Chains A and B, each alone.
Chain A
């Protein structure tokens, strides 16, 4: 039996990696992947806690998160494709039209 604290630790590490990925990387694909990483860190935590506390609600939420994440990836990738078509680059810092 793996103790709960290990799951929490792994989830924290994954989430931190995700945050750093979003803040530090300029490539849009990588940012999208880092966001996925953060979502899955959350999922992992939810599943672990669900087993610990025998909660069916938490498991249901995990399923919802998976579905929403899939949709989010689809929209995100579509945005990235359009962005590449317009700008010819995937660098997030190049996309800066929406300022004062």
Chain B
């Protein structure tokens, strides 16, 4: 048997791509029933998941820290630029692919129930499969250029799926907004890629991300590259100041929010930073930038989440906040902790979104948490899953969210970066706020006062095709953290163990000394105390009569308005960027185009027309006038020819 899965990485993105092709083009329109398209879509993702599992098993058994990329064919050969179509399956991409295909599979199954009453499931599953293929290409690519193909591909699918219900004006606007804001980030990524090519003469990971190559690059160039890559990451991962698209992206169907805008695509930015860990470790200023943007985003997003009333928007701001944690971890050099949080976040956030989708499904599409409530009685399974995920994200031990968040907090605390304590303080405040807003959401949606309980009585539990994936994600949200990242003893940290060969990079801010077990326990106790107090406080308060909530809102006055209006960032962008851009477009359309360019075209036509108007008067239909004109012409011609003889 010389069949090696290692040689067949291409199978992972191939299956979803085939599924998209089948659902989109090959299956005739008349046969695109929900059963057919969902079977194709789920089957293709399941195949992809199986391939990933086999590849990962082989990777683990071969015990190679850094496997070589597999080159399939020459892709671009232009002068100095040589980019082959090569895929890389190393521990980092293996972890990410397992998460993407695993969570993706569960969400695909859930979608079968959620989209059951949609008139166009064929289009939905085509986009979803195309997204999976592009995401996997992004994760498996062996060069920045191929990664960029996947990067743009997931952006496209995100746009298509946000605007899936294209008859809704707001959905179209949200899709456009997501696409345009992402363009800003993409421009950063592109420029970073050009600088990488100028500096390193290659776009392949093994040639760019080697310590030898990095040592030769100038620090200024390294800072420019890492900062621009981070601009790309902030666009895709919705960090300040490019976070504005993600809350609006909730216009898409809920499984899309769960898959793309919580679990997978938005973590692509984190993946890029972790993938380029070698570059970031060599460049301290950019790492500090990443950490600060991360922690500020985490704090502000969790503050905004406190005052949102749309169930999916709360979750969207929560996603932004959790992504901030991941970048904070990257910034202090805790790359494995960042990836661990990516994975656990995928579990509990997908569970939260699917739970929210189930609640919306059961209440006929209600998304306003003030009008929900009391679902605990009528939707027991959804409630339990949502409750577990809430505990997990709030950071209650020993659930997945606690494990990964605690690891990040620990790494921040012991990092050698000077203002590490400030970062840690901000992060722990965010942890408290996370517990508060999650349990506010949970209390208002599933419990609430008597009035709310009465409203909830009309809801109905979702079908098992939706609740079973929900249960499985909830189970992962419980055990996912400890299974992958057991904090003690160090040898049993599975992810660390798996990625150890990959992690041979100089840490910049990361300290080798983690401060011992005592410090770890103390930090964990603080984090747990903060989380529990936040959760209990919020649950007790928001469970009570809603009048009290309104009273508090009035007391807070402007502070509450500021948060509920999302710090007026959208308004600010409207004035500073959107307004001038629209104005400039108007100017181009109404003045430059209609008056300038159209003026030239119409003017030329008008000149010809007027000239014809005037000249046609010569056509008198008097034959003798014509004859006279001929004579005059003939005489003139003769005089002209004979000019030499006459003069």
Contact = CB atoms under 8 A, between A and B. Distances in A.
Interface of A: 19, 22-23, 26, 92-93, 95-100
Given A19-B631, A23-B631, A96 B622 contact: yes
B627 A99 contact: no
B624 interface: yes
B623 A92 contact: yes
B627 A98 contact: no
B29 interface: no
B558 to A, nearest CB: 77
Contacts of B623: 92-93, 95
Interface in B594-625: 616-617, 619-624
B628 interface: yes
Interface secondary structure of A, over-half rule: loop
Contacts of A19: 631
Nearest to A96: B621
Nearest to A93: B622
A60 B107 CA distance: 99
Contacts of A22: 624, 627
A31 B628 CA distance: 13
B621 A97 contact: yes
Contacts of A99: 619-621
B627 A100 contact: no
Interface of B: 616-617, 619-624, 627-628, 631
Given A98-B621, A99-B620, A100-B616, 11 more contacts: A22-B624, A22-B627, A23-B624, A92-B623, A92-B624, A93-B623, A96-B621, A97-B621, A98-B619, A99-B619, A100-B619
A49 to B, nearest CB: 17
A85 B616 CA distance: 29
A48 B617 CA distance: 44
Contacts of B621: 95-99
B637 to A, nearest CB: 15
Nearest to A92: B623
B227 to A, nearest CB: 72
A84 to B, nearest CB: 16
A96 B624 CA distance: 11
Contacts of A93: 622-624
B617 A100 contact: yes
Contacts of B624: 22-23, 26, 92-93
A100 B617 CA distance: 7
Interface secondary structure of B, over-half rule: helix
A99 B623 CA distance: 11
Contacts of B619: 98-100
A19 B631 CA distance: 8
A22 B630 CA distance: 11
A22 B624 CA distance: 7
A17 to B, nearest CB: 14
Nearest to A99: B621
Listed residue (B616, B617, B619, B624) with the most chain A CB atoms within 10 angstroms of its CB: B624
B508 to A, nearest CB: 86
Nearest to A97: B621
A96 B617 CA distance: 14
B628 to A, nearest CB: 6
Nearest to B616: A100
11 contacts: A26-B624, A92-B623, A92-B624, A93-B624, A96-B620, A96-B622, A97-B621, A99-B619, A99-B621, A100-B616, A100-B619
A96 B620 CA distance: 8
A93 B621 CA distance: 9
Nearest to B624: A23
B642 to A, nearest CB: 15
A98 B626 CA distance: 12
Contacts of B627: 22-23
A96 B623 CA distance: 8
Contacts of A98: 619, 621
A97 to B, nearest CB: 7
Nearest to B618: A100
Top 6 A-B residue pairs of the complex, sorted by shortest distance between their CB atoms: A99-B621, A96-B621, A100-B616, A98-B621, A92-B623, A22-B627
A23 B624 CA distance: 6
Contacts of A95: 621, 623
A92 to B, nearest CB: 5
Contact of B628 (A23, A26, A100): A23
Nearest to B630: A22
Nearest to A22: B627
A22 B634 CA distance: 15
A19 B294 CA distance: 99
Nearest to B617: A100
A19 B619 CA distance: 21
A96 B621 CA distance: 5
Nearest to A26: B624
A70 B44 CA distance: 90
A24 B387 CA distance: 112
Nearest to A28: B623
Contacts of B631: 19, 23
Contacts of A100: 616-617, 619
A100 B614 CA distance: 11
A97 B622 CA distance: 9
Contacts of B628: 23
Nearest to B634: A19
A97 B619 CA distance: 11
Contacts of A92: 623-624
A43 B9 CA distance: 96
Contacts of B622: 93, 96
A10 B118 CA distance: 101
Contacts of B616: 100
Contacts of A97: 621
Nearest to B620: A99
A82 B622 CA distance: 18
A99 to B, nearest CB: 3
Nearest to A24: B624
A93 B610 CA distance: 29
A98 B628 CA distance: 17
A19 B628 CA distance: 9
Nearest to A100: B616
